[in-house]
Amino acid sequence: MESVIHPRWGMGELRLGMTREEAHQILGEPDHTEEDDEAGSSRIGWHYDRFEFSLYFDEDCDGRLTLIISESASAKLGGAFPIGMRAEEAVRALRSFGDLVRDDEVSSEGLDFYSLPEASVGLLFADGVCESIDIAAHKDENDEYVWPETDSPG
């Protein structure tokens, strides 16, 4: 599975907004699943240990894919491979996507979460080293999902 992250679109063949059935056709069965009921909205997580990423489908939007989290060192964003980078390196490497913005609500002792708001991408740093990168579905000013309009990121 290709781990190229396409801002506001998805990763590899995985497009934000796709259904569980579409994802299953591409990846097959997940290694394990979980269900989370946060703030009255149900979210289903599919974890693919062999690919080092997870997919999250939210029931508040008909069970569509809203979040991909990768922990794979082969996850590529632009010309960079952020996993394993120190925060200062990531700032330089991802400059073309805008400024990394620290999210104080998500960050805590030893963990720092930064986002690239224009790209709908987030990076989690543990003790200053990037551990995961996520691509989230974009929401507009009315808090409505804006799905990618094309079937391919190109």
DSSP 8-state assignment for residue 86: B
The pLDDT of 30-48, averaged and rounded, is 87
Percentage of the chain lying above the pLDDT 90 cut: 62
pTM value > 0.85: yes
How many Å apart are CA 41 and CA 37, to the nearest integer? 6
Task: To the nearest 10°, report the CA torsion of 53, 112, 118, 26.
Answer: 0
pLDDT in tens, 69-112: 999 999 999 889 999 999 889 988 998 888 888 888 888 888 99
Summary mean pLDDT of the chain: 90
The reported pLDDT for the residue numbered 154 is: 63
How many Å apart are CA 34 and CA 42, to the nearest integer? 11
Polymer length in residues for the chain = 154
The reported pLDDT for the residue numbered 147 is: 93
Helices (H) and strands (E) in the chain, counts: 2, 14
